[in-house]
Amino acid sequence: MKKVRKAIIPAAGYGTRFLPATKAMPKEMIPIVDKPTIQFIVEEAIASGIEDILIITGKLKRPIEDHFDSNPELEENLRKKGKEELLGLVEETTGLNLYFVRQPYPLGLGHAVLQAKAFVGDEPFVVMLGDDVMADEEPLTKQLIEGYEKTHASNIAVMRVPHEETSSYGIIDPEAEAGDGLYNVRKFVEKPDPEDAPSDLAIIGRYLLMPEIFGILENLEPGVGGEIQLTDAIDELNKTQRVFAKEFKGERYDVGDKFGFLKTTIQYGLKHPQVKDDLKKYILDLSKELESGAIENNMDPEAHELEAAKEDEE
């Protein structure tokens, strides 16, 4: 059985949900307190035993490459000032086995993954989506690798979502659970309307795939949204070899969504040694203010004006 050594992180998307912040900056570089979201993904890969990581980028994504490069001037400056702790943080993201390739056109997630064909070769590999930050005692990618070691087959991470949200996800049609939270799957469907969704088990952003997926992706017709969909390719793969779904029981933070991003920032802040005490106090005081209604009077004056203007228009 071949070892899982390689991971792909697609990072070519425009990040339109975070405009204007993402007009000139990759969404993957937006920080959760002090760490760019993509660094959480890279850390999960390394903690799961992954050796080589390919990041699929596109236009305006150079800051990602720079983030994982050395910065000799900054390092020298911190060294001279004796700022060893900061130096450690800067050096932590240097010297990893990271590779980059560009997706020339935004033709969909399946098309992005196809750009990794030569990098992956003939080995099982993982795909990790940057919008999903996962927290569990054992990293989710490691759980998928263990699933592969048991089943010798592809393992796709899934999680229950509210039924009305199925049209935002790939959804599986599960057969009976095969133990250890693993399901055999009848069908994988990309973004079905709630009335057509075969279950509430949604594909979250971690996939362990067999290399045969590339032959399928090369010949795949565009699906939902006119894009080459990874979910459609997985459904095809499932017709010729077993593909399992692994139910994730940990915490998932959707940092690709504004509210999800705010929640993640607060959760991470509450664990961050430098800010956790102040943040906790702030949240407790804020809740009291919110409960008493005092916060209304505190509103940003500009926002207040905007709000008033909107009411005038209506």
Provide the binding-site residues for ligand G1P, judged by CB under 6 A.
Answer: 109, 129, 131-132, 169-170, 190, 202-205, 230-231
SS3 of the chain: the string is: CCCCCEEEEECCCCCHHHCCCCCCCCHHHCEECCEEHHHHHHHHHHHCCCCEEEEEECCCCHHHHHHCCCCHHHHHHHHHCCCHHHHHHHHHCCCCCEEEEECCCCCCHHHHHHCCHHHHCCCCEEEECCCEEEECCCCHHHHHHHHHHHHCCEEEEEEECCHHHHHHCEEEEEEEECCCCEEEEEEEEECCCHHHCCCCEEEEEEEEECCCHHHHHHCCCCCHHHCCCHHHHHHHHHHHCCEEEEECCCEEEECCCHHHHHHHHHHHHCCCCCCHHHHHHHHHHHHHHHHHCHHHHHCCHHHHHHHHHHHHHC
Task: Please state the closest distance from residue 7 (CB atom) to ligand G1P, in A.
Answer: 16
What's the 3-state SS for 98-153? EEEEECCCCCCHHHHHHCCHHHHCCCCEEEECCCEEEECCCCHHHHHHHHHHHHCC
Q: 15 vs 170, which CB is nearer to ligand G1P?
A: 170
Q: State the minimum distance, in angstroms, from the CB of residue 5 to ligand G1P.
A: 24
CB of 1 to ligand G1P, least distance (A): 27
CB of 222 to ligand G1P, least distance (A): 13
Residue among 42 and 78 whose Cβ is closer to ligand G1P: 42
- Residue nearer to ligand G1P on the CB measure, 75 or 254: 254
Q: Indicate the residue among 169 and 269 with the shorter CB distance to ligand G1P.
A: 169
Q: Which residue is nearest to ligand G1P (CB)?
A: 170
* Complex with ligand G1P: residue 2 or 186, whichever CB lies closer: 186
Closest CB 109 distance from ligand G1P, rounded Å: 5
Instruction: Provide the minimum distance between the beta carbon of 309 and ligand G1P in the complex, in angstroms, as a whole number.
Output: 33
Could you tell me the smallest distance in angstroms from the CB atom of residue 202 to ligand G1P? 5
